[in-house]
Structure 1
Amino acid sequence: MSAMANNPAHLLLLDRDQAAALLRPDDVLAAVRESFLLHASGDGRNFPLVREALPAGVFGIKSGGVAPQDLLGMKAAGFWPGNRSHGADGHQATIMLFDPATGRPQCLIDGNAVTTERTAAAGALGLLALARPDSEALCVFGTGVQGSAHVDHALRVLPGLRRVRYLTSDGRRDPAFEARFAQRCDVAPGAGADAAVADSDIVITATTGRGPLFAPQAVRPGTHLNCVGSDTRGKRELAEGMLALASVWVDDLAQALAIGELQWAPQTAVKEFGALLAEGAPARHGVAAEAITIFDMTGIALQDLSVARMLRQRALATGTGTSVAWPW
């Protein structure tokens, strides 16, 4: 490990490419799993969420800590649609880790790749716990960064998946998306939203959350849904009545009520996903075969911090990143 590891007068910087190069799917999956278990045990805390509209976009702060592990930090992130006109990603995120004993910043990390991978890893854990193990067909709404990452992780953890049908916001084919997965599954556009959902064992919604994507009646018994796009007040992907038809899990109850699908049906009976993982039970344990299951994913700070800590440790061990003087 480099000499910088215990030198509080320096700050480690990891840019986009450096952070992405250090991310490994299996390690991200393990870190995200740990974050859910920390949340369930109470050792990990998600602090109150900041999520505010701006003239040019949406800005948010997710922060938290794990006192027994000396972990403290935050992610400042949001969505600026105007970035696309400059050829840049509309989603922007930056993660900062701090020494909880002194408040000193330890590491500054570009958070875009971290956000993508930790969200898709959380989705993969949702599939492992709640989707039918014999699932063969997947439908995804959205073929952008998040949609692609979720399909990639789904194919990794559920090797029985054979067919992927996708739907885009404008109804057009996405040749790049098809090319990415052509060697791993039968991938093609869905014939229509309801038809694609009705023909799927798994549904992933990874859109900008402008409104309901399909009719609840299209979801057949035994289907699992990972819902990703509702992450701000006013956004939704599920139609009215959908939550009432399903057994629902959330990553964090308070956050799901504030910005997730649960904001539209706050009376819904739900469970937190970390408690399910803590049970260590087989997939769909205690869930009826014909039950529809939903994982309402808003993304929690502990996911970002667990992955960021892993990146910092790996960067220090490999000499990756830039160390800058940060005097007391």
Structure 2
Amino acid sequence: MPSDARLLLLDKNQVEALLQPADVLDAVREAFVLHSQGEGRVFPLVREPLATGGVFGIKSGDVQSQGLLGFKAAGFWPANRALGGEPHQATILLIDPATGRPQCVIDGNAVTTMRTGAAGGLGLQLLARQDSRRLCLFGTGVQARIQLTFALALLPSLKHVRYVTVTDQPDAGFERAFGERCDISHATDRNAAVAASDVVITATPGGGALFDLQAVQAGTHLNCVGADTRGKRELPDGLLARTRLFVDDRDQARQIGETQWAPDTPCTEIGDLLSGKAQVDRHASDITVFDMTGLALQDLTVARLLHQRAAAAQAGTSVHWPW
């Protein structure tokens, strides 16, 4: 049996040094197209509550034609905040499909953050009105920041941002981070902010409806990030019935996304738009929703990119892993 096998380890700092937003965007686009074409498979999702108060999940899949196989073990541990740590934790493992041997272990936090931001940006490019100028953002955390970063980069018509915080208090640091890229201010009336916006992004823990049904006006596009577990939601009852609904994966969205609350709502997978299987044909008065639950294939295409870059740059830690 081979005794010279190696396993590459990429920690948080190494991952962040290797990640580039434009390359992640390309990798996420590829993941959606592979999913649409049936070349990339998404295996049954694991997402379970823990006695500690956390949530643990596994997203896995493969692309047989590319020799790509692996999974991300991830979840949410709210008690980490009291320890000064990030509550979202994720680890990605790439596996050789020919032998089952591990190839690369990757800190998945930055991967999850950026690939989700890239997916949101693609959703805006495909679904939002291209003359959209006003955005309402719920949340100011890690995911809210990356969603806004990609939104401003990929939908340049956006000029005015109103944000809503869980405390209903302004966040000076958040405003400083984006103040040079847009007109940004705290919204004291969330319904009014939604009603005045062309784009709404919800990036919260998904504890309940964030605004009233009547606040959403004709022509609005919504990117919904926070519903990623059974029981989570950010949208009010009755909204999906008024919208044209787009998802990353139909079955997964019905299981853990906003679509779980209206599972019979007709929907289109966003990969089908990118592959040409479906068309948007958006009317100015349409309300569109992108229900984002996150695909294993997104993690795997980005992880493969990182593995290749690390190998070329001789980055990371290579350890002896005989078998």
TM-score bucket of the superposed structures, by smaller chain? over 0.9
- Alpha-carbon deviation of 1:118? 0.2
Among candidates 177, 181, 186, match of residue 184 of structure 1? 181
Name structure 1 gaps, 5 residues minimum.
1-6
Among candidates 308, 313, 326, match of residue 321 of structure 2? 326
1:94 aligns with 2:101: no
Q: Which residue does the alignment assign to 1:33?
A: 29
- Percent identity, please: 62
1:266 aligns with 2:295: no
Q: Which residue does the alignment assign to 1:42?
A: 38
1:275 aligns with 2:272: yes
Q: Which residue does the alignment assign to 1:257?
A: 254
- Alpha-carbon deviation of 1:27? 0.3
8 Å CA contact 1:234, 1:259 repeated in 2: yes
RMSD: 1.2
- Local SS of the residue matching 2:234: coil
Q: Which residue does the alignment assign to 2:312?
A: 317
Measured against aligned partners, the alpha-carbon deviations of 1:72-117 in whole angstroms (never above 9, x if no partner) come to 0000000000001110000000000000000010000000000000
Among candidates 2, 5, 15, match of residue 19 of structure 1? 15
Q: Which residue does the alignment assign to 2:241?
A: 244
- Alpha-carbon deviation of 1:191? 2.8
Q: Which residue does the alignment assign to 1:291?
A: 286
Among candidates 123, 126, 133, match of residue 136 of structure 1? 133
Residue type matched to 1:112 in 2? N
Q: How does 1:83-232 map to 2 (within 5 A)?
A: 83-232=80-229
- Alpha-carbon deviation of 1:285? 3.9
Among candidates 76, 79, 90, match of residue 79 of structure 1? 76
8 Å CA contact 1:247, 1:270 repeated in 2: yes
C-alpha distance 8-197 of structure 1, shift in aligned 2 (>3 A) = farther
- Local SS of the residue matching 2:9: strand
- Alpha-carbon deviation of 1:280? 8.5
CA distance in 1, matches of 2:204, 2:271: 24
8 Å CA contact 1:133, 1:158 repeated in 2: yes
Q: Which residue does the alignment assign to 2:48?
A: 52
- Alpha-carbon deviation of 1:288? 1.4
C-alpha distance 162-8 of structure 1, shift in aligned 2 (>3 A) = farther
- Alpha-carbon deviation of 1:8? 6.9
Normalised by the length of structure 2, the TM-score is: 0.97
Q: Which moved more, 1:271-280 or 1:195-204?
A: 271-280
- Local SS of the residue matching 2:205: coil
- Local SS of the residue matching 1:73: strand
Number of aligned residues:
320
Name structure 2 gaps, 5 residues minimum.
none
Q: Which residue does the alignment assign to 1:303?
A: 298
- Alpha-carbon deviation of 1:202? 0.5
- Local SS of the residue matching 2:259: helix
Structure 1 runs (4+) greater than 2 angstroms displaced: none
8 Å CA contact 1:8, 1:106 repeated in 2: no
CA distance in 1, matches of 2:277, 2:124: 14
8 Å CA contact 1:8, 1:104 repeated in 2: no
- Local SS of the residue matching 1:248: strand
Residue type matched to 1:322 in 2? T
Residue type matched to 1:19 in 2? V
CA distance in 2, matches of 1:107, 1:163: 42
- Alpha-carbon deviation of 1:175? 1.0
Measured against aligned partners, the alpha-carbon deviations of 1:275-313 in whole angstroms (never above 9, x if no partner) come to 0111198xx841211100000000010000000000000
